[in-house]
Amino acid sequence: MKFLKSKWERSVCLVVAIVLLAALGMICWQMQEPVIDVTNTRISIDCPFYGVVVDWKDVRQVEWCGALPLLSSRTNGFAAGKVRVGHFCAKSGERIRMFSYSRVGACICFVLCSGEKVYLNLKNEERTKELFDIVNACFLFEHYRTRHSNLLL
């Protein structure tokens, strides 16, 4: 290669290529939907860099929302194309955590006892609704069980 005459120029080009490929790989990895595990005691949203595990005892409410909140800024997260994952600031001023894989459609909102809100939607609204039904059933079961444990004995 004529334009890469010295060993130094070839080394710099190799390092730049490796860094660019690594960055592209990380972006593609982040674009995948999370692995979601729902049990009677918790929900786990496993996605690269921004996953979360929430116990049902730490959740005040689970809601089906018709639309995602409007965002004003990303405070610590990833946003590319339709994917928005991590910590954001909503136009309303509240700080939220988002796991969004579609810009349109409904989502699940978890209101935590701390006041924090976590929004989740998948690429497909029907799958998001199916997930909401499972999540809501587990949430309601756990809250009923903990509040009425003396009746279950």
Question: What is the distance of C-alpha 102 from the center of its chain?
Answer: 11
pLDDT at 80: 76
When comparing pLDDT for 32 and 79, which is higher?
A: 79
Extended strands (E) in the chain: 35-38, 42-46, 52-55, 59-65, 71-80, 83-90, 95-100, 107-112, 117-121
What pLDDT, in 10s, does the model give residues 70-126?
Answer: 888 878 887 777 888 889 999 999 999 999 887 777 999 999 999 999 999 988 889
pLDDT at 27: 59
The answer, as to whether pTM is greater than 0.85, is: no
Distances (CA, A) of 3 to 11, 14, 19: 13, 14, 21
Q: Looking at this protein, which amino acid is placed at residue 19?
A: V
